[in-house]
Amino acid sequence: MKQPPRESLCELREHHHALVMNLAVRKRQGKLVPLEEYAEYLTENYHRVFGWIRKSKANDIPSDRTREWIIIAKLMHEVRECREANELARSRISNRQSESVAGRM
Cα gap 52→41, rounded to integer Å:
16
pTM of the model: 0.67
Q: Is 96 helix (H, G, I), strand (E, B) or coil?
A: helix
8 A C-beta contact, residue 79 and residue 24: yes
For residue 75, which phi and psi values (nearest 5 degrees)? -60, -45
pLDDT of residue 74: 86
pLDDT mean by block of 10 residues, the chain; 105 residues: 68 75 80 86 83 70 84 87 86 74 58
Going from the C-alpha of 27 to that of each of 32, 34, 74, 105, the distances in angstroms are: 4, 9, 21, 36
